[in-house]
Amino acid sequence: MSVVLTWIVFLPMLFAGILGLFRVRHTVLRAGAMLSALLVLALTLLTVVQFDPQAEGMQFVRHLPWIFQYGITYYLGLDSLSLVILLVIALLMPLLYLYMWDNPTSGYWYNMLLLQTGVTGAVLALDMVLFYLFYETMLLPIFIMIGRYGHDWNHAHAMKILLFTVLGSMAMLFAILYLGYAHYNFYGNWSFAWHDLARLPLDPQTATWLAAGFLLAFAIKIPLLGFHTWMAAAYASAPTPALVILSAIMAKLGIYGLWRFGYGIFAKVLHLYEPILLALSLVGMLYYAIHAITQNDLRRMFAYSSGSHLSLIALGVVLANLYAWSGSLYLIATHALASAGIFLMIGLIHQRTDTVQIDALGGIASVAPRFAFFFTFFALSIAGVPGTGGFVAELLIIIGAFSVHPWLGAATATTMLAAMLFVFWMLQRTLFGAPAPSVATFADLSRRETVMLTPLVLLLLITGIAPSLFTPIFTPQVQEMLLQFIHAAGGAS
Amino acid sequence: MSSSLPSLIVLLPFFGAGVMGFVYLFVPAGRNLRRFYVAVGIGTPLLAALLGLIVVGEMLTLPASASIASPLYSWIAIGSFEIDVAFVVDRLSAVMLLVVTLVGSLIHIYAVGYMWDDQGFGKFFAYFNFFLGAMLLLVLANNPILLFIGWELVGLASYLLIGFYHHDTANITAANKAFLLNRVGDFGFVSGLGLLFALQKQSGFDFAAIFAGLGGIDTAMLSLIGLLLFVGAMGKSAQIPLYVWLPDAMAGPTPVSALIHAATMVTAGVYMVARFAPLYNRIPDVGLFIAGIGAASALLAALFASWQNDIKKILAYSTMSQLGYMLIAVGLGEYSNGIFHLAAHAFFKALLFMGAGAVIIALHHEQDIFKMGGLGSRLPAVRRTMLVATLAITGIPIFAGFFSKDAILSYAFASGHTTIWAIGVVVAFLTAYYMFRLYFVVFVAPNHRSSRSRQSPSLTSLPRSMVWPLFVLAAGSIFLGFWNLPEAYGGSTWFSHELHLADHEAHLRFAKEYILDGFNVLVALLGIAIAYRKFVRPSHPLNAPIHRIAWQRALANTLYIDTLYDRLIVRPLRGISNWQDRLIDPKIIDGSLRGLVTLYRGVATQSARLQNGNLRWYALTFLLGVSGISLYLLIAIGGAS
């Protein structure tokens, strides 16, 4: 069983290699890509079934030596935190391939295959150097896709996202290397395994600086307020499948990093950063939502919407109690589903009308009722309407905040208003009113498109109606992580 | 005891909504599906009503404090946050269950006729059933989280139905406004729940567990919780300051106004306060605040209603005003009076809306009462039933409103809240005036306009399904009052007694009660007389009033509250948003980063200038370097030795 994660990570890359070697036709390429995505999904579901929520620590661990001299290892493993994100990736990929089905540009398909390996690897890697490698390589397909297949100033915007995130990861790389060296200094051998690094008896000042390196990388990736100016640009230019990965998965990896490595390695000094993180995520949540109100480009609007929700997730992580952490983890999954749905549908609007400018749209509901229904559903899911998974997650984070302090709770509860500010006005101008000239020939959802969107709708409904089906998978380990964090943080004082 | 019937009652309408929605979206149009929609759309509420009657009948055989539980499954269980999807029928939710399913069924039947020619017939019934399910979820929930889910879902249904005619952007604006203002209220509500949960020391978060653990929370915090929960009620029950959505909500089809914005959803705030009676009984100051908000809203709404010309807006403000009465009742701790007025109001207000809808349909979607006139002889069934409802809301003896409203007012008087009582009486006067103004102008006064401009406009004949529900509701509006006949009139307040709520007690001597009630009736008759004088025997020809005086204009424009909200909230938010887009992000954040880049480039360019290939320049720097190092060596090393 321990090789299953290796297969999950490298299967898409393997397919890309084989398909590329034979320079296959579009029809074979897309079938191959879909096959790889479905195989990964099957393997992922297998791990979910085999996963033991009650067990402590990492499961399905694969830990092999790689570069002896420097203690760098091939180290994959998974706990409930990574499992949730892995599951989201595996679920979304087949749907994205369905979206791209008729796109004949083969470079597009190869990039997507490589992208899957990149993001999956980053979620499963437990050796910091390996993590860094995946964390960087997943950016390259995105960079290429924005640059080659994107729109609206795509070259400049591809450069912007690359420079911003590389700046962050450089700081992280430095911190990682320093940690490995510190391990050598203390114990006489190099190691980059995260659990070894978490045990290092660093003096607080050094740890503070190293934590800053990590936090900078993750703050840019999420992005937290002030580190976000690449976000709207990249979202506006990215082609739809890349955009879905960007919003549904890559941004979550920033949260994942903060959670796994920020809280896992730097528990002792993190309290120094907590007020800053708290302020940035709380203010960011509202700042982004307000910014979204007047955006005329749908992709930009939901870029800010995404930023608002990611700030909420980050807030939940910073609050560090059982409810908030469970809520954040739940929101990672449900927001991925909802934002995937909305961005896919924005892509469909683009395909049909050649525009995503709100003022050029209007009246879609009159010509395409099914489209309007799905679009409204995803928009309302983003707004966290009960009956969808987002509501459960937001409720848990709000309750977690109230458990910390009433004022913090009330401030967090404003998230109920945040998405409202732009979602309904947007719906009014895109779906309702008299049909605009651009939507006169707007086709309703085709069968393929309906098949693509229905799993997202069903999952959002099930996560909202019966969260008890999902929470037992992760709550025991979240509780465990929390205890470890409190223990480690308490050790310092 | 437990039973699966309550769960079934809640699930039935959701199921109907799902089936109809699926058929509407995925079965190709063109086939005539109306029969199917009618069967499912009416079948589920009727079945729910039938099951509701069975459950309530069963419950009446149990002792008053007993309830019928209906657990379904565990919704979530994290730490001590354990929430079940479980329903409970006790005396309070039984009343709501009957009101929602019975009045709901009648309005569904009425809607068949009203919506028959509409393109979106199936969609309408899908939404309508969805609303019914959500409302039942709200009233039957056994814990506040589930209640809140129903609370939000009825808001969603309301949003969808207000914006039902989505070609007109104005309707969507109204729908957005309703959802936004309700969400502002819900923000308060969820904060109240969060705070309650954080302070709750007992495990479990259903109503029984919460009420058992209230003693462990200090009063200041309880007051805060009570206030926050009530903020939710302000939104849902359209009270000051969150009421402005209700009049606009009339953009929806009239059956929607009758069911959602009169009989059921808007009363959820009253129900919520009654549900949390054990909490509010501990914080009488907050209760007084609630009563104050109710009284102020009742008065304001009655004033607005007296100056409106749109038949549905008059009724909308009237609803807000009557909700004010109910909140006076529950705020002062007379929960069963509040709930009784809620039930009676559901009947006569639904009837008023449905009558108004019949008039609107008959006149091809005319809503201005001053363009109607003299319809009495041509729509006799509508006129008679409307008259019954008008008498009921005015509080004329033997009609339901007389008993339900006067009970509230005499309690307010008996418990010493004379200011609230006085406001209530003024509102009763205004109610009589504006309701009879509506009735007289629409049905009695001769139609000046039509006799002048066009010869009696053609009337659409009304389908039967739109007429006979009116008679059922009229019967309710007449006889419902006898269920709660006060002792002063030889009754035993059976309803209040059976409701078994934690009411405060305050009694009046019978003589005093007769005087108070007589006074109320006189005041109402005065209002009717003035309306008669102004609109049936007018000194000059009857026309839509033109408001020349500033205060009249202000009232007709409902004090410009909408404009105020727009100026204070909407525009500033958009302003900030633009400002972020144009200033903060590009100039300040990106600008400072660009500054770094420029600095870096500047340094690089300056450094590059040093490498200019000029030999004398190199010699000079070489010389400077060597002399610098020599100087350093001389001072640092030479000095040390």
Report CA-CA distances (Å) from B340 to B174, B193, B405.
30, 27, 9
| Structural domain total, chain A | 1
d(CA B612, CA B623): 17
d(CA B256, CA B164): 10
B-chain residues near A234 (CB < 8 A): none
Average pLDDT over residues A65-75: 87
User: What's the Rg (C-alpha) of chain A?
Assistant: 22
Q: Residue B18 above 90 pLDDT? A: yes
Helix (H, G, I), strand (E, B) or coil at A77: strand
Average pLDDT over residues B329-355: 92
The answer to whether the Cα torsion of B181, B187, B189, B190 is positive or negative is positive
- What integer pLDDT is reported at residue B558 of this predicted model? 67
Residues A226-266 pLDDT 10s: 888 888 888 888 899 999 999 999 989 999 999 999 888 88
Q: How confident is residue A47, by pLDDT bands cut at 50, 70 and 90?
A: very high
**Alpha-carbon gap: B190 to the closest alpha carbon of chain A (Å):** 7
- What integer pLDDT is reported at residue B545 of this predicted model? 65
**Alpha-carbon gap: A275 to the closest alpha carbon of chain B (Å):** 21
The answer to whether the Cα torsion of B194, B195, B201, B205 is positive or negative is negative
Identity at B144, one-letter amino acid code: P
Is the Cβ of A425 closer than 8 Å to some Cβ of chain B? yes
| Mean pLDDT lowest among A326-340, B62-76, B149-163 | B62-76
Q: In this complex, do A413 and B191 lie within 8 Å of one another by their Cβ atoms? A: yes
Asked if residues A289 and A418 have their Cβ atoms less than 8 Å apart, the reply is yes
B590-596 long-range contacts (CB < 8 A, ≥24 apart) are: B590/A229, B593/A229
Is the Cβ of A395 closer than 8 Å to some Cβ of chain B? yes
User: Tell me, what DSSP letter sits at residue B227?
Assistant: H
Burial B490-522 (b: 16+ CB within 10 A, else e): eeebebbeebebebeebebeeeebeebbeebbe
Nearest CA in chain A to B123: A369
Q: In this complex, do A420 and B191 lie within 8 Å of one another by their Cβ atoms? A: no
Q: Residue B406 above 50 pLDDT? A: yes
Q: Residue B105 above 80 pLDDT? A: yes
Mutation pick from A285, A375, A392, A395 vs chain B, by most beta carbons of B within 10 Å, is A395
Q: In this complex, do B75 and A369 lie within 8 Å of one another by their Cβ atoms? A: no
For B172-303, strand residue ranges (E) read: none
Average pLDDT over residues A316-327: 93
A-chain residues near B79 (CB < 8 A): 322-323, 475, 479
Q: What residues does A72 pair with on adjacent strands? A: A67
| Mean pLDDT lowest among A55-59, A86-90, A218-222, B595-599 | B595-599
Is the Cβ of A421 closer than 8 Å to some Cβ of chain B? yes
Residue A417 lies in a domain: yes
Which residues neighbour B317 within 8 Å (Cβ) at sequence distance 6 or greater?
B246, B247, B301, B302, B304, B305, B308
d(CA A474, CA A78): 12
- What integer pLDDT is reported at residue B30 of this predicted model? 64
Residue percentage of chain B with pLDDT more than 90: 40
Helix (H, G, I), strand (E, B) or coil at B28: coil
Q: Residue A483 above 60 pLDDT? A: yes
Backbone angles phi, psi at A25, to 5 degrees: -75, 165
Residues B528-587 pLDDT 10s: 988 888 888 766 666 666 666 777 677 766 667 777 777 777 788 888 888 888 777 777
Average pLDDT over residues B211-217: 86
Q: Residue B640 above 70 pLDDT? A: no
Helix (H, G, I), strand (E, B) or coil at B495: helix
- What integer pLDDT is reported at residue B31 of this predicted model? 64
Please report the ipTM that was assigned to this predicted complex: 0.92
Q: Which of B153, B173, B589 is facing A386, going by the closest CB pair?
A: B153
d(CA A324, CA B613): 64
Within 13 Å and on the Cβ side, how many CA atoms surround A275?
A: 1
Residues A149-208 pLDDT 10s: 887 777 888 888 888 888 888 899 999 999 998 999 888 888 898 888 888 888 888 889
pTM for this entry? 0.91
- What integer pLDDT is reported at residue B627 of this predicted model? 85
Q: What residues does B77 pair with on adjacent strands? A: B82
- What integer pLDDT is reported at residue B274 of this predicted model? 93
Q: Residue B635 above 80 pLDDT? A: no
Domain enclosing residue A423, as ranges? 269-493
Q: Which one is predicted more confidently, B264 or B449?
A: B264
Q: In this complex, do A396 and B81 lie within 8 Å of one another by their Cβ atoms? A: yes
Report CA-CA distances (Å) from A385 to A394, A416, A480, B146, B154.
10, 9, 30, 13, 11
Q: Residue B623 above 80 pLDDT? A: yes
d(CA B386, CA B348): 9
Average pLDDT over residues B190-198: 93
Is the Cβ of A156 closer than 8 Å to some Cβ of chain B? no
Nearest CA in chain A to B82: A468
Residues A445-463 pLDDT 10s: 999 999 999 999 999 999 9
Residue of A372, A238, A360 whose CA lies nearest to A297: A360
Residues B431-472 pLDDT 10s: 999 999 999 888 887 765 544 444 445 666 778 888 888 999
Look-up of token digits 């009652």: B9
Average pLDDT over residues B333-359: 91
Helix (H, G, I), strand (E, B) or coil at B69: strand
Mutation pick from B577, B597, B601 vs chain A, by most beta carbons of A within 10 Å, is B577
Gap between the terminal Cα atoms of chain B: 101
- What is the CA B554 to chain-centroid distance, rounded? 24
The tokens describing A64, both together, are 């092999």
Q: In this complex, do A471 and B190 lie within 8 Å of one another by their Cβ atoms? A: no
Average pLDDT over residues B222-239: 93
**Alpha-carbon gap: B24 to the closest alpha carbon of chain A (Å):** 9
**Alpha-carbon gap: B10 to the closest alpha carbon of chain A (Å):** 14
Mutation pick from A416, A425, A454, A471 vs chain B, by most beta carbons of B within 10 Å, is A416
Nearest CA in chain A to B192: A410
Q: Which one is predicted more confidently, B589 or B273?
A: B273
Is the Cβ of A458 closer than 8 Å to some Cβ of chain B? no
**Alpha-carbon gap: A298 to the closest alpha carbon of chain B (Å):** 15
Nearest CA in chain A to B83: A468
Mutation pick from A424, A449, A458, A480 vs chain B, by most beta carbons of B within 10 Å, is A424
Nearest CA in chain B to A473: B78
B-chain residues near A421 (CB < 8 A): 573
Average pLDDT over residues B291-297: 94
- What integer pLDDT is reported at residue B547 of this predicted model? 64
- What integer pLDDT is reported at residue B416 of this predicted model? 87
Which residues neighbour A180 within 8 Å (Cβ) at sequence distance 6 or greater?
A70, A71, A128, A129, A190, A191, A192, A197
**Alpha-carbon gap: A341 to the closest alpha carbon of chain B (Å):** 18
Q: Residue B217 above 90 pLDDT? A: no
Beta carbons within 10 angstroms of residue B47's beta carbon: 17
Q: Which of B75, B187, B195 is facing A414, going by the closest CB pair?
A: B187
Residue A85 lies in a domain: no
- What integer pLDDT is reported at residue A237 of this predicted model? 87
Asked if residues A259 and B622 have their Cβ atoms less than 8 Å apart, the reply is no
Residue A164 lies in a domain: no
Nearest CA in chain A to B172: A428
